[in-house]
Amino acid sequence: MSEGESVAAEQTGGLDIRRIMAALPHRYPLLLVDRVVSMVPKTSIHAVKAVSMNEQFFQGHFPGRPIMPGVLIVEAIAQTAGILAVESLGLAGTGKLVYFMAIEGAKFRAPVEPGHLLDLHVEFTQLRGSVCKFSGKASIDGKLCAEAHCVAMIADPPKD
């Protein structure tokens, strides 16, 4: 990513799915961020996940009352944090990965169901060398659904 592209992302405030896929190695069915609404590099990000009945996990969680598994909501928060880290540090397209070292204080407040638009808000709480700390929240229409604190390390991908 060139410096000009980084400035453009700041000015428009958002990232489309192509930029998300350049920042993250995740692909279907585990890519859980559909769009970045806004981002302030090295500070915060607002992304969204459109929760569809077509998600594979709804086949078994739970038949008759489909809800998004909490662990996947935390994963969506973590992926949003990964995008913030990669974009803030200018690492998109370099192959660097964001490895999560800890998920702390995860709390679940309300179920996430098909048809919901999950708002993901993540803030940097610390950026020191290759280790980053984040605070994240997931909400629907302003109602808090889940929250968690994450610790991650930026690293090279494993050698084949």
Catalytic residue numbers?
61
3-class secondary structure per residue, 137-152: EEEECCEEEEEEEEEE
Closest CA to 120 of 93, 95, 147, 99: 147
Backbone angles phi and psi of 21, in degrees to 5: -70, -25
- Provide the pairing of β-strand 143-155 with 35-40: unpaired
